[in-house]
Copies of this chain bind each other. A is one copy, B any other.
């Protein structure tokens, strides 16, 4: 078995011990490999095509990969298939078989307990008198996946580089009068051409007020010269691993004064978090740190008024930064493991959507994606909520409505003493304006 994947199985074994075996069935048909079954299959076996099964003997630490058997008749349709020897070279399991051999292999191993992922089963398994556990394996794989191996980080760096280039290509375009889908189609064309098999998630291209819709995926409006900004949240999936990058930039050549003010606060929020993120830090504290920078910025602009700590305490900022600061990233875009067993969500504006609540540790990969948005519904809600409305100057807010929203999102890797940034796309105001002026 290859170093990388055998390491993954050992990572899973940590949570299961050295008795028994574990068993993962890949999806029969893969639309694209982002369902949980397939992500777990990819993690333990390295396989990201459909029809495979995987068995790992916890005692002998040996892996068994079962490839789908393709008849000559089917091969006419899908092409000449790799032989078992070819598969052994590609995926490097200790043992390679066709799926039809699964029963006899399992009987030979005869594990004291078979851990398997609960919602998949096969008729053949039901006929064996084995002890099963359908919960522990999922927990074990989810926890193992939180900590990335060096080889995974290399792949994620490539995914980030390809996607980052795509973002820069978009920034170079003269876009006033174009449809948002021009940016969308150009990004998708770019990542597919560079070897990504798909978008890691549905791309968001929101111009003008559309940038205030967090999951705007219509990508279908004309970009008018009245628009201030365009927000592009887009990343490719490379060799099964996601990237997730957001940039917000002027539809014209430069930021307006108001856009610049909001943009700079969001950038300061992100900078502060990236400065602070390191082992031992709680992720929710990073969100609260970002909140503090936002409140400071809004107090300076006169959007907020009152005492910094009182404003923070009120969570008024949650009406402008309504989503979580970021999430784990890996095989899945919203990768697993953000909430360890027993940890609950915090029911406060902004914090309730946090996708991660745990202590940072080396090997974790997270998105850092602060944002500030001027959303009509949320502003209306704030107005009628005295606990927060007292801290907000709605006349000043009105001046910024036209901005829509700003989000800046990078992908960072937690290291022994801090973190490093996988994302290399211009984000300073001067750098962005320089690119915008080059078109």
Contacts from A to B (Cβ < 8 Å):
31, 72, 75-80, 179, 181-182, 184-186, 188-193, 195, 210, 213-216, 218, 220, 322-323, 375-378, 381
- When distances are taken between beta carbons in the complex, the residues of chain B under 8 Å from A76 are 213-214, 322, 375, 377-378
A213 contact from B31, B78, B322, Cβ within 8 A: B78
Q: CB distance B72 to A381 under 8 Å?
A: yes
Task: Across the interface, name the chain B residue whose C-beta is closest to A182.
Answer: B193
CA distance A31 to B217 in the complex (A): 12
Task: Across the interface, name the chain B residue whose C-beta is closest to A78.
Answer: B215
- When distances are taken between beta carbons in the complex, the residues of chain B under 8 Å from A210 are 79
Q: CB distance A185 to B181 under 8 Å?
A: no
- When distances are taken between beta carbons in the complex, the residues of chain B under 8 Å from A31 are 31
With A31-B31, A72-B381: A376-B80 Cβ-Cβ less than 8 Å? yes
- When distances are taken between beta carbons in the complex, the residues of chain B under 8 Å from A189 are 185-186, 188-190, 192
A83 CB to closest chain B CB (Å) equals 13
- When distances are taken between beta carbons in the complex, the residues of chain B under 8 Å from A378 are 76
With A31-B31, A188-B188: A80-B193 Cβ-Cβ less than 8 Å? no
- When distances are taken between beta carbons in the complex, the residues of chain B under 8 Å from A185 are 188-193
State the number of copies, please: 2
CA distance A381 to B182 in the complex (A): 49
Most buried by B among A78, A179, A190: A78
Apart from A72-B377, A189-B189, A195-B220, what are 8 other A-B pairs with CB-CB below 8 Å? A76-B214, A76-B375, A78-B213, A78-B215, A79-B216, A80-B213, A185-B188, A185-B193
Q: CB distance B215 to A77 under 8 Å?
A: yes
Task: Across the interface, name the chain B residue whose C-beta is closest to A202.
Answer: B31
User: What is the interface of chain A mostly: helix, strand, loop, or mixed?
Assistant: helix
CA distance A323 to B213 in the complex (A): 47
With A189-B186, A189-B188: A79-B213 Cβ-Cβ less than 8 Å? yes
CA distance A76 to B323 in the complex (A): 9
Q: CB distance A195 to B215 under 8 Å?
A: no
CA distance A188 to B188 in the complex (A): 8
Task: Across the interface, name the chain B residue whose C-beta is closest to A190.
Answer: B185
- When distances are taken between beta carbons in the complex, the residues of chain B under 8 Å from A77 are 213-215, 323
With A182-B193, A193-B181: A75-B377 Cβ-Cβ less than 8 Å? yes
Pull 14 A–B residue pairs with CB atoms less than 8 Å apart, ordered by A. Answer: A72-B381, A76-B213, A76-B322, A76-B375, A76-B378, A77-B213, A77-B215, A78-B215, A79-B216, A181-B192, A181-B193, A186-B193, A188-B192, A189-B192
CA distance A192 to B80 in the complex (A): 31
With A72-B381, A193-B182: A218-B188 Cβ-Cβ less than 8 Å? no
Most buried by B among A75, A76, A216: A76
- When distances are taken between beta carbons in the complex, the residues of chain B under 8 Å from A323 are 77
A122 CB to closest chain B CB (Å) equals 22
A251 CB to closest chain B CB (Å) equals 18
- When distances are taken between beta carbons in the complex, the residues of chain B under 8 Å from A72 are 377, 381
A47 CB to closest chain B CB (Å) equals 16
- When distances are taken between beta carbons in the complex, the residues of chain B under 8 Å from A376 are 80
CA distance A188 to B187 in the complex (A): 11
- When distances are taken between beta carbons in the complex, the residues of chain B under 8 Å from A184 are 192
Task: Across the interface, name the chain B residue whose C-beta is closest to A74.
Answer: B215
With A72-B381, A192-B181, A381-B72: A79-B218 Cβ-Cβ less than 8 Å? yes
Most buried by B among A181, A192, A213, A323: A192
- When distances are taken between beta carbons in the complex, the residues of chain B under 8 Å from A322 are 76
Task: Across the interface, name the chain B residue whose C-beta is closest to A192.
Answer: B185
